[in-house]
Amino acid sequence: MSLALWTVWHAAKALFCLWVLRWGGAERLEASFASGFISSFAPRWSAEGLRMAALILLVLCAVGFVAGLFVPSLRCWVGGGC
């Protein structure tokens, strides 16, 4: 995966997580099918649980992004194409 695509992919994931954390996304996703973007069992979660999961995902995605910057072979794990 190219560096540009890698950056766009992680920027989109970060924006989604920030939307859930800061801009009312947790309330909109609470008890909905769309909360499955965060976790497969998230429809049973409250808005607070969704925020916690989004924060954990944001941290893990940041670590994965930095790792992919310095080790390009790790970029193959996302998107399925190398």
> Could you report the per-residue pLDDT of 20-46, keeping only the tens digit for each?
899 888 888 776 666 666 666 556 778
Polymer length in residues for the chain: 82
Amino acid at 69: L
62 φ, ψ to 5°? -65, -45
- Is 79 in a helix, a strand, or coil? coil
pTM for the whole structure: 0.75
> Could you report the per-residue pLDDT of 52-65, keeping only the tens digit for each?
888 998 999 899 89
